[in-house]
Amino acid sequence: MACSAILLDGVSKRYGDVLAVDRASLCVDRGHVVALLGPSGCGKTTLLRLIAGFERPDAGTIEVAGAAAAGPAICTPPERRPVGMVFQDYALFPHLTVADNVGFGLRRAERPTRVPMLLALVGLCGLGDRYPHELSGGQQQRVALARALAPAPDIVLLDEPWSNVDPHLREELRSEVTGILRPLGVTVLLVTHDREEAFSVADRVALVHEGTIVQEGTAEELYFNPASRWAAEFVGTGNVLRGHVQDGLVRTTLGTFPANGASGADEVEVLIRPELLELSPDPEGNGEVVRREFRGHDVFYRVLLDGVELLSHRPSTEVVPLGARVAIRLHEGHVPVFH
């Protein structure tokens, strides 16, 4: 697997009683932008620190850019790994100018040519003499990025890069940062707890739960084919219906679906994403709209069917009034089954 940029195999890391990373395995291809997505405290930052070499694993092996970096008999120090890291709080040196921050890891002789080039790359030409506190948050982030890129790393690690930024600026900064990184061809591993961020920025997403990578795939794969009920609920809202398996089919209140491997007379759960539930006003319909929230391009409905409340998200061009009786139709789509 020498073609991968990052290879984690059964990596664990314990802090006292806390197992921060628990047998995590992951393969990141060169040149990809991959998001590590998971809730707060699930071990994302620890995973980045292990890859960068700031922590040593208790078990497992880590390969970086095709070379063994950490394992039972080896631990390459951070400065000898071709990895640049942008910390969650940027960690700029407050008493150094922008230019000195960016040039910090470079040999003195390289600085006069390389620092202006890096400042130009991140769009900070002419700001080299400023101090970090004289910059906006977005500009500080670009300084941190330029500093991480200074030694021309193969891999850039970004820890929650947009979590301290106002929501309305996030989208702009996301495309700004990925616009800088993608043309360079570097491999990017970015940590986030925000599903939309992971989905919109990354080529692939690795889902982290309790210190382990529970699923890796494209955003579509995770959303439509989650590996577990936990994964399903973390990457989006959904209706989880009880079902009964018979003859290769799952029977639920909303219809019958392929059982996808479930057999016997198993009780299972099926996941139906809210956008798959189509509503049409119908006085004879067996559903009733009991809640309606206008969200702009979508409307979120809660529909009561046989004593169960279901979520339906419809485009706001389709109007169904509160209290209406509706017929519920299931749009064609994959319906995952959980045992």
Q: How far is the CB of 147 from ligand ADP (least distance, A)?
A: 21
286 vs 288: CA distance, rounded Å: 7
Nearest by Cα to 99 from 156, 149, 153, 143:
143
- Residue nearer to ligand ADP on the CB measure, 88 or 286: 88
* CA count, 13 A, side-chain hemisphere, 202: 30
Question: Nearest-5° angle of CA 102, CA 103, CA 108?
Answer: 175
Q: How far is the CB of 303 from ligand ADP (least distance, A)?
A: 36
In the structure encoding, which two tokens stand for residue 272, read together?
């139906």
Residue 43 binding partner per list ligand ADP, Mg ion, none, with a CB distance cut-off of 5 to 8 Å that depends on partner kind: ligand ADP
The most distant pair of C-alpha atoms in the chain lies apart, rounded to whole Å, by 80
Q: How far is the CB of 81 from ligand ADP (least distance, A)?
A: 19
The reply to whether 4 sits near Mg ion by the rule CB under 5 A is no
Q: Find the binding residues for ligand ADP in span 26-65 (CB under 6 A).
A: 38, 40-46
- Residue nearer to ligand ADP on the CB measure, 42 or 324: 42
Q: How far is the CB of 112 from ligand ADP (least distance, A)?
A: 37
Residue 61 binding partner per list ligand ADP, Mg ion, none, with a CB distance cut-off of 5 to 8 Å that depends on partner kind: none
Binding track, positions 24-53, relative to Mg ion; x by CB under 5 A = ---------------------x--------
Residue 54 binding partner per list ligand ADP, Mg ion, none, with a CB distance cut-off of 5 to 8 Å that depends on partner kind: none
Helix/strand number for the chain, H first, E second: 8, 21
Among 10, 15, 74, 233, binds ligand ADP (CB under 6 A): 15
* CA count, 13 A, side-chain hemisphere, 142: 26
Nearest by Cα to 24 from 53, 52, 48:
48
Binding track, positions 226-265, relative to ligand ADP; x by CB under 6 A = ----------------------------------------
144 vs 150: CA distance, rounded Å: 10
Residue 317 binding partner per list Mg ion, ligand ADP, none, with a CB distance cut-off of 5 to 8 Å that depends on partner kind: none
Distance of CA 297 to CAs 219, 301, 314, Å?
21, 13, 9
Q: How far is the CB of 210 from Mg ion (least distance, A)?
A: 14
Q: Give the binding range for ligand ADP (CB under 6 A) out of 14-22, 169-177, 233-241, 273-281.
A: 14-22
Pairing of the two strands 33-37 and 204-209: parallel
Residue 259 binding partner per list ligand ADP, Mg ion, none, with a CB distance cut-off of 5 to 8 Å that depends on partner kind: none
5 vs 153: CA distance, rounded Å: 11
Nearest by Cα to 338 from 224, 229, 217, 251:
229
Q: How far is the CB of 70 from ligand ADP (least distance, A)?
A: 16
State the residues that interact with Mg ion by CB under 5 A. 45
